[in-house]
Chain A
Amino acid sequence: MIRQSDDIIIGTVARMLVPFIQLFALYVIMHGHYSPGGGFQGGVILGASLVLLLITHGLPETKKLLSEKGVAILSSLGLLIYSGIGLLCLILLGNYLDYSQLSKILQVAPNEARSLGILGIETGVGLTVMAVMFSIFIDISTGGVLPEDEEE
């Protein structure tokens, strides 16, 4: 169980830096087609920012930000976005993940529809990777024992 450390310096610097780390992770997700990046890399940086909050402020404080229920919802939401876009292309009489069929809904040229489709699935992948990394770190650090089980 990660306790709260009684250090002001590291806690303050971590709290100041975490929003900028998350903003940079969003930049990495958005620019996946042009520079090194994409869904997985941005998701890892988002998860690393949450891990930084976890090791400097302790487990009970971080659970107020993102509970275990929220982690489960976020990981499922990312997968839903990915499969949902694929199935939407299937419904519009194309192949699975054939983004050019999205131009029937979005009123843009097929090239731009492909670019927007890839952006959508990268967002879903980033959300899932962030939630799963956070959940794995909590499981490894507490040994699978929930605080409710410890108190009994």
Chain B
Amino acid sequence: MNQFFLGAGIGISFLVLLVLYRVVFGPGVYNRIAAISAIGTKSLIILLIMGFIFHRVDMFVDISMVYALLNFIGCVAVAKYLEMES
């Protein structure tokens, strides 16, 4: 079971590297915000899978819940800032 979690974690990390292309080369700022939200979602799953690999789930669950909160609040804050007229 450990090998399965390790393979899943490596697969999702590879997907994060692919999304980084859109962060660097996205024409405009809106593409970059959408890609950063996607990276936050994927890294939340990577944190939880790492908790299962190290057999210490109860520690990593709190960290991933906080990261889900902060990802949501950051995304809404940046979108509100981009909507304001100067």
Contacts and interface: CB of A to CB of B under 8 A. Distances in A.
Contacts of B70: 48
Interface of B: 58-59, 62-63, 65-66, 69-70, 73, 76-77, 80, 83-84
B59 A10 contact: no
Contacts, number: 34
A73 B63 CA distance: 31
The winner among B59, B69, B84 for most chain A CB atoms within 10 A is B69
Contacts of B77: 51, 55
Label chain B's interface by main secondary structure.
Answer: helix
A21 interface: yes
Interface of A: 2-3, 5, 10, 14, 21, 24, 28, 31, 35-37, 41, 45, 48, 51-52, 55-56
B36 to A, nearest CB: 17
B76 A55 contact: yes
B76 A52 contact: yes
